[in-house]
Amino acid sequence: MGWFLSRDKAAPAIVLSHGYGSNRSELLTLAFELWKSGYHVLVYDLRGHGESPVKWSGLGTYEKDDLLSAIKFLKERKNEGGQLLLDGRVGLYGVDLGGYVSLVASAQDPMVKAVAVDSVYPDVAHFINARLKTIVGSNSIGNSLVDSSWTSHLSELTMQMYLLRREDTAPAIESVSTGAGRRFLFITSKETGVFDTMTRDLYNATKSAKELVEVDHTRMDRLYEKASSDYDARVVSFFQQAIPLNAEKPSQGRKK
């Protein structure tokens, strides 16, 4: 389930993917700001969230295919005059789970030119461990168990059983290390703990044009008023630079 905010002429499109435990409504203000700036915007519920017909989450392994299907949907949209709405460029934005999916999918469709992610992780096993740490909190014994290799193997086994043995075959670390032709924005905050570390690690591993922005509060939590408007403005600015609306067409050279 999703909302498609379209313009009446060809333009880049941006797909917004929310975080784990959230839903598309959390990104509505950002979607509206991007739409006001001239972009087509698609914001949807990831599986296991909101009004998605699929009632379980794949923690990123199946969601990648859902996002690629969303991009395919955009490629087929036309205006009333029969003109394709997509101008050949797509931007992706996501928070934690949505960010992971955006990074992985970005390497599998050449139309993706810009990716902005907030509090992201390199693979599903790391995400499970991070969630366990969130549950354990400051308990030192609990954290030592989470950090142990035994718990790491257990979380990997649990993940494989939960996902019907489908493997996490395209971790985000591989996507960013082959990111030529794409621009990346990584958003992080020290208040997110292990997610801050993982986001910075992915930023350092990225082999393409990249930017790291540290904020006081990320969209892993709900943002209000000025914090929300400042955050949205930063993301909009990134896409305006990475996939500008009035991009010049490639020069064809002079005819002789």
Q: Does position 227 have pLDDT exceeding 80, yes or no?
A: yes
16 and 80: one domain?
Answer: yes
152 and 54: one domain?
Answer: no
Q: What is the mean pLDDT of the chain?
A: 81
Average pLDDT of span 80-97: 94
- Among 64, 66, 86, 65, residue whose Cα is nearest residue 76: 86
What pLDDT does residue 21 have?
Answer: 78
Q: Does position 7 have pLDDT exceeding 90, yes or no?
A: yes
230: domain CATH number?
3.40.50.1820
Domain tally, the chain: 2
Q: Does position 111 have pLDDT exceeding 90, yes or no?
A: yes
Structural domain of 106: 2-123+170-242
136 and 66: one domain?
Answer: no
Amino acid, single-letter form, for residue 255: K
Q: Does position 57 have pLDDT exceeding 70, yes or no?
A: no
Give 135's contacts (C-beta < 8 A, 6+ positions apart): none
**What are 10's two structure tokens?**
């060809």
141 and 231: one domain?
Answer: no
Q: Of the ranges 119-123, 164-168, 223-227, which is most confident?
A: 119-123
**What are 234's two structure tokens?**
């930063």
Give 89's contacts (C-beta < 8 A, 6+ positions apart): 12, 13, 111, 113, 114, 243, 247
Give 69's contacts (C-beta < 8 A, 6+ positions apart): none
45 and 77: one domain?
Answer: yes
Record the pTM.
Answer: 0.82
- Among 157, 170, 165, 176, residue whose Cα is nearest residue 123: 170
